[in-house]
Amino acid sequence: MAMDYNSYVASIANLMAADPLQPEFQIMLPNMIYTAEKRIYRELDLVNTVATTTGNLTPNDRLFTLPAAPYGSFITTQNVCVFASGQRIQLQPVSISYLNSVWGTPSSASVPQYFAMLTQDSLYVGPYPNQNYVVEIQGTYRPEPLSATNTTTYITEYLEDLFIAASMVFASGYMRDFGAQSDNPAQAQSWENQYQIIFKGANLEALRQKFTGPAWTSLSAIPIADTR
């Protein structure tokens, strides 16, 4: 069942046997959400965290600064394409050393064919561009976190069980500081085990969404027929 912010807070407070209005709980809450969401986004390659933006290359300048993602900056860059003569040219990732040795100067400026990441927010292309080409960037980003003003997210709608488990791993460790976990030292490990169980199914589903599931399809594994 999908959750929103209020039902999430109520569920966590119930599992922690805590008063959600207590100052300690209110201080912990955003840290728990941040940690749980970030873990899920790092470990699951979700299609909903992929975005596409465009920018422009400057003639005779190989440096390209990535446009902003829908929320913040791109975390990983997956595809870089250049539009030239009505065609989309897929740039191939290489090292900066390769670009420096092969296309180290603008003297051979042409349509770029390769790129190398310089920072999280910038890259080099090679050859140097000979004109102002449009660049298409596809990458992953961190969606806006759950909060009182952003009451639902992809995680709360489709991965609510995993989100609860990840949150309780954090909460169980946090409760140790004020004694709640001392009565049940195995609580954090129990929730971690639950997280790992749920994660396996969520990861398989994420792969199927990208047609990288069994046999590179969007289908679950099909049992082999027993003809005996």
User: What is the pLDDT at residue 53?
Assistant: 95
8 contacts 171 by C-beta, under 8 angstroms: no
User: What is the pLDDT at residue 185?
Assistant: 61
Query: In the numeric block, which tokens belong to residue 101?
Result: 């040795």
Domain ranges, ordered by start, for the chain = 5-44+159-211, 50-141
User: What is the pLDDT at residue 42?
Assistant: 92
- DSSP, collapsed to helix, strand or coil, labels residue 192 as helix
Dihedral sign from CA coordinates of 211, 214, 220, 225: positive
Distance in angstroms (rounded) separating the CA atoms of residues 115 and 132: 16
User: What is the pLDDT at residue 211?
Assistant: 74
User: What is the pLDDT at residue 178?
Assistant: 43
Quote the pTM value: 0.81
Dihedral pair phi/psi, residue 212, rounded to 5°:
-120, 25
Reported as type and span, the H/E element at residue 37 is helix 23-43
DSSP lists the bridge partners of residue 50 as 140
User: What is the pLDDT at residue 227?
Assistant: 63
User: What is the pLDDT at residue 54?
Assistant: 95
- The candidate with the shortest Cα–Cα distance to 62, out of 77, 82, 43, is 82
Query: In the numeric block, which tokens belong to residue 193?
Result: 């085990």
**For residue 201, with 0-12 CB atoms within 10 Å meaning exposed, 13-18 middle and 19 or more buried, which class applies?**
exposed
159 contacts 202 by C-beta, under 8 angstroms: yes
User: What is the pLDDT at residue 198?
Assistant: 84
Query: In the numeric block, which tokens belong to residue 201?
Result: 């199914």
Residues (pLDDT < 70) of the chain are 1, 175-185, 213, 215-228
